[in-house]
Structure 1
Amino acid sequence: MPRSGGLATKWVNMFRSARIKLTAWYLLIIMLVSLMFSAVIYRLLSLEIARFEYAQRIRIERRFGGMTMHIPETTELVEETRRRILTMLAIINGGILVVAGAFGYLLAGQTLQPIKVMVDEQNRFVTDASHELRTPLTALKSAMEVHLRDRRLTLVQAKTLIAGNIKDVNRLQALADALLQLARYQKANGQTVKERLQGEEIVKEAVKKIEPLAHKKQIGIKTETTGFSIWGDKYGLTELLIILLDNAVKYSPAKSTVTVRGNKTDGWVTISVTDSGTGIDKEDQPHIWDRFYRAERARSDSESGGYGLGLAIAKKIVEANRGMISFTSREGRGTTFTVRLPAAP
């Protein structure tokens, strides 16, 4: 998918500039504190030297009483000591400047990294969404322009055009709904409304919504669930199972079976959806959670449809419900998606 090189370069430069500025602020704060402590230390040491000089002079005078003798001046020695202290403090502050600069730059990078990841993700999201929106919009525009120039357009052709346009509009609506759903779960960040749910009811509701699609391909949906309760978001978990079942039905051959299993073990509920489809290619497996990613096999299959958002949404739903999702797949033998969710107390 296309990427905007200029936009990427702009964000890289902004990130570098922000990192340098943050490092400068770290250095400024550290050096201000260091210089303040250095000033205090120098002042205290100077007072201690002066006190020691005075005490030493008094001891000499008391020891020799009224004897007339020359007491050597210590002013030069005191000044030399003070210069050495200043030199040592300057060296220490210089070392702090260098070390703090290096560590500050690293720390600034660590601080800004989550923001950079978020911005990069948003840029990819906007770019990919724009690309996916452009395709049906271009198809709509091209079809209407061609028929608009056709002076011999018949009623049948017009109806065919409208039917095709409605199909493209439906695809756009499906994409918009998927984008809104994905954005909602990204924003939720685990803050969804959770309640005690009967797992079997969630499974039955999801199966009921997928049955019409399965019926078209003569695919049977088999459920093997024991009584279990889930602590989670009802709407989200139902949508999660619908996504997994929809994927299983779409990529399974006709007259096959999709199996849904559910059980509770050690405070966790495990739900799995198994199909008997073609499986997921090894080169595609690391990317199946990426938004807008579709395997080449899926792209060549016009019946599968979709925009590659389903599994990305599924993962966000699982994360919002404090769960985990994984899969196992073997080419030619099907795929199993497994979800682990907190059981209801």
Structure 2
Amino acid sequence: MFHSATIRLTVWYLAGIMTLSIMFSLLIYSLSMNELTAKIGALHARLEASNIAIPRDVDLGELRNRQEDDAARTSLMTLLYTNLAILGLASVISYMGARRTLQPIEEAHQAQARFTSDASHELRTPLTAIRTEIEVALYDRQATKQDYRAVLTSTLDEIKRLSALSNSLLKLARMEDDDINHITITLQDALASALSALARDPDEIIVTKPQRPMIIHGNYEMITELMIILIDNALKYRTPGTPVRVRLMRRNHRACLEVSNTGAGISKEDMPHIFGRFYRAETSGTNSTKSGYGLGLALAHKIVNLHYGDITVYSTPGKTTSFTARLPLG
């Protein structure tokens, strides 16, 4: 689809360039011929007015016409070759320009297609599980109240997971327009809100933060969501019994949020894709039972980008994994 669109856009670019080139060529031809005709006319006028002997078999009028025809032919050939060269060069430039113009649209279209496909798959899986369990329960004439209760409980869990997925998708969709309300935020306050929302035991999360308020300009709810995502992710994938460490600090005139844990870690193969939508790394050990849709880190990455910051991850498999978000100080 985009190949044909590239060709069509190339043709339009080329048509515009060649139209301008031909118009300028006609203008140059007209001006140059007027100037040549005037010079040839002035030269013949001087010849006629001079005492120079001109052979009788030489017709000055015919000579003048022949010189004008030769000049016109030379000018036309020069302009023709020039336009052919412009056509060749413009074809390459037009194609490159069309590719550059359409590339962001093509990439966005491909990303949307992948997102739609992944979302459809993620929605289909729990829906299929719900349908299967309900159909089995309906056709099982020997099912007891406990069996029905188990089916309803399982269905409720799947509905909760679907609700979490739809909420994450809506958050991502709302962030696509990059339209956020910036206010002055104290990161210590946002961190307190995130810890309150997580409602975990104090010994599970060790917090290190400066006494001096760390001020940034951004969206309070998004920054709090960023902290919740990173801390919850660290809690989910830690080794049982080990704490998650959260640090707020200043570094190179930027505010840094560092969240680290001890666990299975992230492999080198998974590292480049960790912030992709619906991407879930292959894990082992205690992490193998953890479920999710792979949208949390994608949300975190989007939030950081909207606040003109960056987020990085460092991981040593089997040891420490650390996520660091850097945001401009206000």
Q: Secondary structure at the match of 1:175?
A: helix
CA apart distance, 1:66: 11
- Return the match for 1:340 from 319, 322, 326: 326
Map Cα deviations across residues 282-322 of structure 1 (whole Å, 9 max, x no partner): 11111101111111117994642211111000000001111
CA apart distance, 1:91: 1.1
* 1:45 and 2:32 aligned: yes
Question: Aligned in 2, Cα 1:252/1:68: closer, same or farther, shift over 3 Å?
Answer: closer
* 1:166 and 2:156 aligned: yes
Q: Which residue of 2 aligns with 1:28?
A: 15
Query: If the length of structure 1 is used for normalisation, what is the TM-score?
Result: 0.90
* 1:130 and 2:117 aligned: no
Check whether the contact 2:234–2:260 (CA below 8 A) recurs between aligned residues.
yes
Q: Secondary structure at the match of 2:299?
A: helix
Q: Which residue of 1 aligns with 2:197?
A: 209
Q: Secondary structure at the match of 2:50?
A: helix
Query: If the length of structure 2 is used for normalisation, what is the TM-score?
Result: 0.94
The separation in 2 between residues aligned to 1:184 and 1:165, in whole angstroms, is 28
* 1:140 and 2:130 aligned: yes
Letter matched to residue 49 of structure 2: R
The separation in 2 between residues aligned to 1:330 and 1:68, in whole angstroms, is 100
Q: Which residue of 1 aligns with 2:208?
A: 224
CA apart distance, 1:192: 1.1
Check whether the contact 2:29–2:75 (CA below 8 A) recurs between aligned residues.
yes
Matches within 5 A, 1:1-345: 14-64=1-51, 72=60, 73-188=63-178, 191-212=179-200, 215=201, 220-226=204-210, 227=212, 228-297=214-283, 301=287, 303-344=289-330
CA apart distance, 1:220: 1.4
CA apart distance, 1:74: 2.3
Letter matched to residue 150 of structure 1: D
CA apart distance, 1:117: 0.5
Structure 2 portions without partners, runs of 5+? none
Structure 1 portions without partners, runs of 5+? 1-13
CA apart distance, 1:81: 1.7
The separation in 2 between residues aligned to 1:114 and 1:15, in whole angstroms, is 11
The separation in 1 between residues aligned to 2:289 and 2:170, in whole angstroms, is 24
Letter matched to residue 29 of structure 1: G
Q: How many residues align?
A: 325
Q: Which moved more, 1:148-157 or 1:238-247?
A: 148-157
CA apart distance, 1:219: 5.9
CA apart distance, 1:160: 1.0
The separation in 2 between residues aligned to 1:48 and 1:299, in whole angstroms, is 88
The separation in 2 between residues aligned to 1:299 and 1:132, in whole angstroms, is 24
The separation in 2 between residues aligned to 1:201 and 1:337, in whole angstroms, is 20
Check whether the contact 2:239–2:286 (CA below 8 A) recurs between aligned residues.
no
Aligned sequence identity (%): 38
Letter matched to residue 224 of structure 1: T
Check whether the contact 2:265–2:320 (CA below 8 A) recurs between aligned residues.
yes
The RMSD of aligned alpha carbons is 2.0
Q: Secondary structure at the match of 1:289?
A: coil
CA apart distance, 1:67: 9.5
Check whether the contact 1:324–1:340 (CA below 8 A) recurs between aligned residues.
yes
Q: Secondary structure at the match of 1:187?
A: coil
Question: Aligned in 2, Cα 1:90/1:66: closer, same or farther, shift over 3 Å?
Answer: closer
The separation in 2 between residues aligned to 1:186 and 1:329, in whole angstroms, is 29
Q: Which moved more, 1:64-73 or 1:156-165?
A: 64-73
Question: Aligned in 2, Cα 1:64/1:164: closer, same or farther, shift over 3 Å?
Answer: same
Check whether the contact 1:31–1:97 (CA below 8 A) recurs between aligned residues.
yes
The separation in 2 between residues aligned to 1:92 and 1:62, in whole angstroms, is 39
CA apart distance, 1:208: 2.0
Letter matched to residue 208 of structure 2: E
Q: Secondary structure at the match of 2:315?
A: strand
Check whether the contact 2:41–2:64 (CA below 8 A) recurs between aligned residues.
no
Map Cα deviations across residues 180-230 of structure 1 (whole Å, 9 max, x no partner): 111112222xx3111111111111111222233xx4xx9610111012122
Q: Secondary structure at the match of 2:241?
A: coil
Check whether the contact 1:219–1:256 (CA below 8 A) recurs between aligned residues.
no
